[in-house]
Amino acid sequence: MNEADIQVLASIRRAELMGEFPDRESLENAAHRYWKYLEDWSESWQRLIDDGLIQGDKNGYSLTELGRPSAERYYVERPDFNWYYYQHFYAAAQASMAHTQFCERVYGKDLVQDGQADMDSIDDLIRYLKISDGDKVLDLGCGSGGVAEYLSDKTGAHVTGLDYAANAIKTAINRTRGKQDRVTFVQGDLNALDFPDRSFDAILSIDSIYWVSDIDRALASISSLIKPGGRIGIFISNTPSIDNAEGAYEPHGTWIAKSIANLGLNYDVHDYTESFQHFWPKLTKVMLELRDDFVAEENEVIFDSFMLAADENYLPAIELGLLRRFLYIARV
């Protein structure tokens, strides 16, 4: 099975979940979410029918019993372009002088970031989680481990970083070989955490919780890994494309707040919305100034990815007054 076939199967599954009619035209119109990584699907339809994985015709497709397990797996793994992008981003960013300059100017320090938390936010998170020397900490969606390494360097805690991207974990391990007594990295799935119960004093998620398939189940799993008295820290941003439900722009009305409350956990919420209004305009300005440097390094895709997020999501949300930024600290 090639990547085109995988994208078709994932797209049919997505249409099922979204309640959309899975005719060929509709599926192809929604394929823009694969961005630069969209494959040619023209031969996949008949091949998947011949292999018994889908049935129907251009007027409507459905998954067969044989095809459904693969489609469900691929949709969770590769619902859009991000899976493809992050197979290459971390090693490229680690070696990129343009990205180093970008991080220093936007975040305040180069931790090979690609998210939305500057150094002040990260230091706040460490303080609110009350992380100290000898604590065991889990960083969910750690990327190439820059934040995990910084946290351990700053506090003396033993930090485990988890990410689904194999290249991210490889990059993190190679960079921190002299610190393996207190910084470790594992490849894993946010939807299927494989650690013993009550393993950690603190767990953090900086803009990674969006990728779970069932937030209530994921947070229940996360909370089971926390020692009594431990804390969970979750940074999220909200825009209309993330959560547009009634009350979603209020600190206690987001999907994360509701799920934490459903678990019966006590939590505090810290509102970063006002200061965050300047983050994406600043990021955009710096990226535009560094564009030629990214192009010269053949890393234009990094530039394009940040600008795509800015132009299609965050800057329009600012214009509408619908960009929010919250930090949730839940106590177990």
C-alpha 242/C-alpha 256 separation (Å) is: 11
C-alpha 300/C-alpha 302 separation (Å) is: 5
| Contact status, residue 277 vs residue 318, Cβ threshold 8 Å | yes
pLDDT interval class at 245 (50, 70, 90): confident
Write the pLDDT tens digit of every residue in 286-299: 999 999 999 999 99
Q: What angle, rounded to 10 degrees, do the helices at 300-309 and 279-296 form?
A: 160
Quote the pLDDT of residue 243: 82
Quote the pLDDT of residue 241: 83
In CATH terms, 89-276+321-331 corresponds, of 3.90.228.20, 3.40.50.150, 1.10.3720.10, 3.60.15.10, to 3.40.50.150
Cross-strand pairs, 266: 331
pLDDT interval class at 87 (50, 70, 90): confident
CATH 1.10.10.10 domain range(s) in the chain? 3-80
Write the pLDDT tens digit of every residue in 139-192: 999 999 999 999 999 999 999 999 998 889 999 999 999 999 999 999 999 999
C-alpha 267/C-alpha 293 separation (Å) is: 43
Quote the pLDDT of residue 31: 96
CATH 3.40.50.150 domain range(s) in the chain? 89-276+321-331
Cβ-based burial of 286 (10 A; exposed 0-12, middle 13-18, buried ≥19):
middle
What is the residue whose two structure tokens read 């035209």? 25
Residues 6+ apart with CB under 8 A from 292: none
| Contact status, residue 254 vs residue 248, Cβ threshold 8 Å | yes
114 to 75, 129, 168, 227, 286: CA distances (angstroms): 23, 22, 12, 30, 14
Write the pLDDT tens digit of every residue in 208-231: 998 888 999 999 999 999 999 999
**Six token digits for residue 66:** 């044989």
Question: Is the pLDDT reported for residue 13 higher than 90?
Answer: yes
**Six token digits for residue 256:** 């994360």
As its CATH architecture, domain 3-80 has Orthogonal Bundle (1.10)
Mean pLDDT of 251-280: 95
Quote the pLDDT of residue 244: 83
Q: What angle, rounded to 10 degrees, do the helices at 119-129 and 146-155 form?
A: 50
C-alpha 251/C-alpha 159 separation (Å) is: 29
The residue type of 14 is R
